[in-house]
């Protein structure tokens, strides 16, 4: 997740990103309630025909895969109405549709027909790409906003390649670093729609890289020979029901590192090899039971994984990871969310290469974004109370039933975060091996295509404060 501190002169970049992407909450239907009151709520009904409309590319059976009911099921109406809401949430969380409406269509004696209406997203995105190579804009500012630290190129992504929710990605990036990435994800590879796979390959060549952390800041060097990274992986995915996912991943990475790295940081990796091979195997269990995964207001989701990385002395590591998020609707447009994550790496005596912890991806505390804290064990807890202020639509003037307007929801929030990381070799980093605390307030803006802007004004235990922008999207 990019975490960008706002600086003068970056307003154009912000506005461009703000206008480019979006994602709404799907509307709820009242048709079901109007029809259901006509029937005895204690009587059981048999689901008859399920009529699906609006899907021009997505296969019908991919939509039916997300439903907690099927034709022939016998169920009482109150329970069926609850399942309608579950079906709507499941369909929205596939990231295939802007809207999904599930409703009773008609009664035929003790048979009920069901209507499912969806509005599909755009699935093909050929996007020009330009981005600083630094971790965030705060880090880029320290390097003088140099154009020589930009990556640029082209990203092509198809999010519904064959109509089966399969994803194809091809990224060609040049500039500061050279990157080629290819990925194909097929979650439904068999007739039961329970088994799938993902294959990926990437190559990257960097002129400069982070070789150490001093005073909780990344240290870079372009006087060394750089680093080349080849990696590939294959995943097997198993989804036995609606909300639980199992993933078994096999990967391999080859790193070509300049020999002078060990001279500036003898603990970068163990040994004096400059060509490192890292096999990896991992198992991940995920469960999602939320209204809207990119910005949940109700429900929970959890993840647990175990990873074995490397078999040689220079990268031998076991990693255990657990994540949990709970969101609660407090009523009157108020909501509370709690997010926690823990990471444990064994043995504790790990090279620098395996100690990235706080400040990377989603492992960060709001208010400490400009710092990195290395370690082999870490835990964090984030608490947020938010209230919806208003929602509005912006017309696009596009002659399209699904994209005629861009919906926005705006939330005010207050938050408090805490975290701790353990490092056997803390060196000159003052935030390691101690509790960290931050707090703050801000605004969140949610729009379609799962795009979420977060404006945070935060305070940390070092007596520092500042305004930060976070934005998240798959693009």
At 49-81, the pLDDT tens digits run 999 999 999 999 999 999 999 999 999 988 998
Q: What is the pLDDT of residues 447-471, one digit of tens each?
A: 988 999 999 999 999 999 999 988 8
Q: Residue 136: what pLDDT?
A: 65
Taking all residues of the chain, what is their mean pLDDT, rounded to a whole number? 87
305: nearest Cα among 382, 249, 365, 241: 249
Residues in the chain, total: 475
Question: Does residue 107 come out as left (phi exceeding 0), alpha (psi in the -120 to 50 range) or beta?
Answer: beta
pLDDT of residue 473: 65
Decide the pairing of beta strands 299-309 and 44-53.
unpaired
pLDDT of residue 13 exceeding 50, the answer is no
Q: Which domains does the chain have, with CATH numbers?
A: 39-119 (3.10.20.310), 124-158+166-472 (2.40.160.50)
Q: How confident is the model at residue 38 (pLDDT cuts 50, 70, 90)?
A: low
Residues forming beta bridges with residue 52, ordered by sequence position: 116
More confident residue, 437 or 154: 437
Query: 217: closest CA among 323, 414, 358?
Result: 358
pLDDT of residue 398: 77
Query: pLDDT tier at 323 (50, 70, 90 boundaries)?
Result: very high
pLDDT at 138: 67
Q: What is the mean pLDDT of residues 159-163?
A: 96
Task: Calculate mean pLDDT across residues 153-180.
Answer: 92
Instruction: Name the residue among 259, 269, 201 with its Cα closest to residue 227.
Output: 259
Contacting residues for 174 by C-beta, under 8 A, at least 6 apart: 151, 152, 153
pLDDT per residue over 404-429, tens digit each?
888 999 999 999 999 999 998 887 88
pLDDT higher than 60, residue 210: yes
Q: What angle do CA 83, 388, 29 make, to 5 degrees?
A: 30
Q: Tens digits of per-residue pLDDT, 239-278?
A: 999 999 999 999 999 988 877 777 788 888 877 777 889 9
Stated pTM of the model:
0.86
């Amino acid at each position: 997740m990019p975490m960008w501190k706002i600086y003068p002169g970056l307003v154009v970049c912000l506005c461009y990103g703000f206008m480019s992407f979006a994602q709404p909450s799907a509307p709820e239907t009242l048709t079901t309630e109007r029809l259901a009151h006509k029937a005895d709520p204690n009587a059981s009904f048999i689901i008859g025909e399920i009529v699906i409309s609006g899907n021009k590319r997505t296969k019908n059976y991919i939509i039916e895969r997300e439903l907690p009911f099927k034709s022939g099921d016998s169920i009482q109406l109150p329970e069926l109405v609850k399942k309608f809401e579950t079906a709507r949430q499941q369909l929205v969380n596939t990231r295939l549709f802007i809207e999904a409406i599930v409703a009773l269509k008609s009664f035929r004696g003790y048979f009920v027909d069901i209507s499912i209406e969806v509005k599909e997203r755009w699935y093909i995105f050929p996007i020009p790409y330009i981005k600083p190579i630094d971790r965030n804009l705060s880090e880029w500012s320290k390097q003088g906003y140099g154009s020589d630290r930009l990556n640029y190129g082209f990203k092509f992504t198809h999010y519904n390649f064959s109509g089966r929710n399969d994803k194809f990605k091809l990224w060609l990036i040049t500039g500061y670093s050279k990157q080629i990435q290819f990925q194909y994800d097929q979650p439904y590879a068999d007739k039961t729609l329970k088994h799938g796979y993902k294959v990926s390959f990437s190559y990257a060549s960097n002129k400069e890289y982070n070789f150490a952390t001093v005073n909780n800041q990344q240290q870079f060097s372009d006087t060394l020979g750089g680093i080349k990274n080849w990696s590939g992986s294959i995943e097997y995915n198993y989804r036995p029901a609606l909300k639980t996912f199992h993933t078994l991943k096999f990967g391999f990475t080859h790193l070509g590192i300049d020999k002078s790295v060990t001279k500036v940081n003898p603990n970068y990796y163990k040994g004096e090899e400059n060509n490192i091979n890292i096999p990896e195997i991992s198992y991940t269990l995920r469960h999602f039971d939320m209204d809207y995964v990119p910005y949940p207001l109700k429900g929970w989701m959890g993840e647990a994984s175990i990873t074995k990385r490397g078999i040689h002395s220079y990268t031998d590591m076991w990693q255990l990871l657990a994540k949990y998020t709970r969101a609660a609707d407090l009523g009157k447009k108020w909501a509370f969310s709690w997010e926690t994550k823990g990471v444990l790496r064994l043995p504790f005596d790990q090279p620098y290469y395996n100690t990235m912890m706080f400040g990377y991806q989603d492992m960060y505390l709001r208010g400490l974004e400009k710092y990195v804290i290395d370690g082999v064990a870490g835990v964090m807890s984030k608490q947020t109370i938010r209230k919806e202020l208003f929602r509005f639509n912006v017309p696009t003037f596009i002659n399209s039933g699904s994209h005629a307007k861009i919906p926005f929801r705006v939330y005010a929030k207050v938050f408090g975060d805490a975290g701790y990381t353990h490092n056997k070799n803390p060196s000159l980093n003052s935030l390691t091996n101690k509790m960290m605390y931050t707090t703050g307030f801000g605004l969140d803006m949610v729009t379609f295509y799962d795009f979420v802007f977060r404006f945070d004004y935060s305070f940390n235990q070092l007596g520092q404060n500042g305004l930060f922008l976070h934005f998240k999207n798959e693009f």
